[in-house]
Chains A and B, each alone.
Chain A
Amino acid sequence: MTATVPATVRLANEIAVQFHHRDPDAAAAEIATHLRSFWEPRMLTALYAHVDAGGDGLDDLAVAAARRLRAGG
């Protein structure tokens, strides 16, 4: 059951998979834009924390997007 996966990870992965066909840089940028537009700060905080903790189970594109977003872009 997916309940063991944190909600933020599940949601970020669901976004990331939509951009798998794109060039990774462009994809990460689009995902970052999406997250900035729609995610509440505490969700972003949880996502960053998960990335910091090794990003277990998190889509690579989501990791890239989170890093990019935290860096302000």
Chain B
Amino acid sequence: MSLLREPDFGTPAREGAATVELTVDGIAVAVAPGTSVMRAAKQAGVDIPKLCATDSLEAFGSCRLCVVEIDGARGTPASCTTPVSDGMAVRTQTEKLGRLRRGVMELYISDHPLDCLTCSANGDCELQDMAGVTGLREVRYGSGVDAGANHLDAPKDTSNPYFDFDASKCIVCSRCVRACDEVQGTFALTIDGRGFDSKVAAGAGGSFMESDCVSCGACVQACPTATLQERSVVELGMPTRSVVTTCAYCGVGCSFKAELRGDELVRMVPYKDGGANEGHSCVKGRFAFGYADHPDRVLAPMVRDSIADPWREVSWEEAIGFTARRLREIQAEHGVGSIGGITSSRTTNEEVYVVQKMVRAVFGNNNVDTCARVCHSPTGYGLKQTFGTSAGTQDFRSVARSDVILVIGANPTDAHPVFASRMKRRLREGAKLIVIDPRRISLVRSPHIEAAHHLQLAPGTNVAVVNAFSHVVVTEGLADREFVAQRCEGYEEWAEFIAGEEHSPEAAEEITGVPAAELRAAARLYATGGNGAIYYGLGVTEHSQGSTMVMGMANLAMATGNIGRDGVGVNPLRGQNNVQGSCDMGSFPHELPGYRHVGDDDVRGIYEHLWGVDLQDEPGLRIPNMFDAATEGSFRALFVQGEDIAQSDPNTQHVHAALAALDLLVVQDLFVNETAKFAHVLLPGTSFLEKDGTFTNAERRINRVRPVMRPRTGKHEWEIVCELSQAMGYPMHYESSAQIMDEIALTTPTFAGVSFEHLDRVGSVQWPCNEAAPNGTPIMHQDGFVRGLGRFVETVYVPTSERSTRKFPLILTTGRILSQYNVGAQTRRTANVAWHPEDLLELHPHDAEVRGIRDGDLVALSSRVGRTTLRALLSDRMPVGVCYTTFHHPVTGANVITTENSDWATNCPEYKVTAVQVALTTEQASVREELARDRTRVGS
């Protein structure tokens, strides 16, 4: 494909039927009311010259290039700011308009360097295009020694690692400022000065890096000239071809145009047609792709007999043969159930599908689990129990119709930034915000946004809060009785349960520390404020009652009728790009693809028939169960696809002991990660740029991942799994990943209508996609719940056993930061480290003071299971008694601290609550040394 240039309609689309008819240069066109003349013209196929307008931003009317003449109207109005009216006759090209436009361009160019040939935007510059379109032939205002006032010597800001700001090329169109405001919602940029001295400034006039800029790239995207330009373009030149693909970072699943020169990736440009992001991006997806060709990449298979031995590079044949032989040997010696596999939420649906197929059909057991175990397994459980399917109810667009937004245990501005921008836009429009989080996340108070309520609960008391909400709804008569009567079951019993005094806000105040009056006010707002939408993250699931909380939120949404239409719903914000997909693909030990239990004979029959094998009808081991069984000796070999369990899973000592006890550990990954240190086989994986398949994002949107380049390892990951299966004696073969999707569609009713061909045609679809919904299902449970009637479940609050003690008086909770991603395997290998070179321990100044800790001090963080050291960051975002850290850097070893506690229903670890002590320290104790010590202890 050559370079894909998307049309720019100049101003945003307006909703509504195309009822306004007009003519543009004699061409008839009908558009929705409120549409600009500029956009209508574009729809009629007429391009009106423009510079300050672009269709991601509201019209501004400053460049004055887009002037038109309208029959019967005075003057030459700007077409971007003039709305259409019925019967309007617009002329876009007249002698007068031509004169005005040339005049404007002449002014622009009189203050612009004439270095087009050597400019980094050469060929991709709207100013250059407009000079051409308007027929500018001379600039009469003087040049050289005769030049007038100008900005040609304005300084360049190169502080950002990914883009340059060259003020000498700025035409002051304000597109960057407006993009920062309207699209991203950060308000980091402004126009400083006035008149001819007007200039773009970051923050209070410092550099971009010193400002509030989050490096989302919206300004770079919006800039019509070379003023804001990706450094990669400055250094490499203009790309020549595009491949539309999907970002491999968080669960938002942004679509990007990967723009290349030959096979060299120059830049990632957010794709306007992407259903999830609609042209927006964040610092990770937009810029942090350099890890894909980082020298740390492992490109050839490696094998060793013992983890004490050095790695040996071997051929694919040898690696696969070795692995197959060892797996079969271990099964022969220790039984069919002694081996298993873990799928990755970072790989494609197709890659996940073949791994679970290998475990079930080739290994002959159900010992397959996925990293979603440690993040959103409670979502799967809770939503299935109440609604009937394990997925969020809405599309991202829905938030634009919400009136009250309830954010629980999520920090979207850091972890799901592109969705957060949509949410912030709606909040700026006036939707009310309720935040339930121990930390004052930045959403609570950000430019032009202020939460109506921030319920700063004690960690681990979510269920008490959601029960108090429901209690208020039920006892104050705020329930949607009609919805409940028609759509749900078990309401009366549940209502009686939840009306109990122990669920009242007054009782909850005792548990959560949130004032009862605040709880009542927030509950009333959610119940009565119009469309109420719940968005939640791992602050809900990663608790001992994660599943209970998910069901509690589902109860609340059903009781208030906030399900089944635009603007409402219960929505998990998924951590990784393909968490939804890896769960959909049957990665759980108790479920075949499509969330169907292995005990269901009919479902198993479908696969037994197709795969030609008998399948186990009882659940397999979950990841923590695998570790337990490994330590205890009945589980001996593990195939790990693209997950760094040694770093990401809780209670590191326990995990390391389990991994060390395995006879065979096979790791498929891009890098020699922490887990690989315990591995015997390393099968090099492919980055998302090399993959061919699909990712499914948090809104159930199945997006195509298209190969930007050939696998640098020589093999697709699914091919490796097929070859391994074959080597183990099972004939698994696909011609392409498209064929794998065909098998998924054939066997999974919710995917019946999905194929690569269909996706390539329509862009993306949200499952269920089948005969009943050929173009997918943006909003679920519209006419009825997937399970028929929505089910109310009694959710009793049970305190976690992890609580602060005299020895461990603080509660540690964990999370993410914008610039880094998960265990950092990708982002640490990019310039994103400029923003977050190390993990920090955030704690309240009071807690710091009583311990004699100052900002930046090295502190020891210890829990009942382990100890690590990191630097302190004093912050009143934390409540007293609670501290916070991230787990992006292996050296921090945050999970050395976290415990074996887990969600009762799914064993999702309780990452969010660990009793700890913090103390000043002088030794920069290496985590690895500590671990070595622990390992000896476990071994002894």
Contacts and interface: CB of A to CB of B under 8 A. Distances in A.
A contacting B, Cβ–Cβ less than 8 Å: yes
A18 B628 contact: no
Nearest to B626: A40
A43 B625 contact: yes
A18 B904 CA distance: 8
A70 interface: no
Interface string B620-640: 111011001100001000000
Given A7-B628, A11-B907, A34-B905, A40 B620 contact: yes
B904 A40 contact: no
Interface in A1-56: 1-3, 7, 10-11, 14-15, 17-18, 20-22, 34, 36-43
Contact of A40 (B545, B548, B589, B597): B589
On chain A, which size bracket covers the interface? Answer: 20 to 34
Contact of B798 (A11, A17, A34, A43): A17
Contact of B337 (A14, A38, A42): A42
B900 interface: yes
A10 B618 CA distance: 21
Given A14-B544, A18-B796, A20-B796, A41 B618 contact: yes
Interface in B342-400: 366-367
B337 A21 contact: no
B596 to A, nearest CB: 12
Nearest to A46: B632
Interface string B3-25: 00000000000000000000000
Nearest to A17: B798
B432 interface: no
B337 A1 contact: no
A41 B619 CA distance: 7
B864 interface: yes
A42 B905 contact: no
Chain B contact residues: over half helix, strand or loop, or mixed? loop
B518 interface: no
Nearest to A1: B864
A1 to B, nearest CB: 6
Q: Chain A's interface: helix, strand, loop or mixed, by majority? A: helix
A27 B858 CA distance: 49
A21 B796 contact: yes
B634 A42 contact: yes
Contacts of B900: 2-3, 10
A65 to B, nearest CB: 13
B621 A40 contact: yes
A1 B915 CA distance: 13
Given A37-B597, A39-B619, A40-B618, A17 B629 contact: no
B590 A38 contact: yes
B794 interface: yes
Contact of A17 (B620, B624, B904): B904
Interface in B869-907: 900, 902, 904-907
Contacts of A7: 624-625, 628
Contacts of B618: 40-41
Nearest to B864: A1
B461 to A, nearest CB: 15
A40 B628 contact: no
A14 B624 CA distance: 15
A15 B628 CA distance: 18
Nearest to A40: B621
Contacts of B599: 36-37
Given A20-B796, A43-B625, A15 B597 contact: no
Contact of B619 (A1, A14, A22, A38): A38
A17 B622 CA distance: 21
A34 B599 CA distance: 13
Contacts of A1: 864-865
Contact of A37 (B545, B619, B620, B624): B619
Contacts of A39: 619
Nearest to A37: B590
Contacts of B798: 17-18, 20
Contacts of A3: 900
Given A17-B798, A20-B796, A21-B794, A40 B625 contact: yes
A23 to B, nearest CB: 12
Interface of A: 1-3, 7, 10-11, 14-15, 17-18, 20-22, 34, 36-43
7 smallest CB-CB distances across A and B, nearest first, come from: A14-B904, A7-B628, A40-B621, A21-B796, A15-B904, A41-B618, A17-B798
Given A15-B904, A38-B622, 6 more contacts: A2-B900, A37-B597, A38-B905, A40-B366, A40-B622, A42-B337
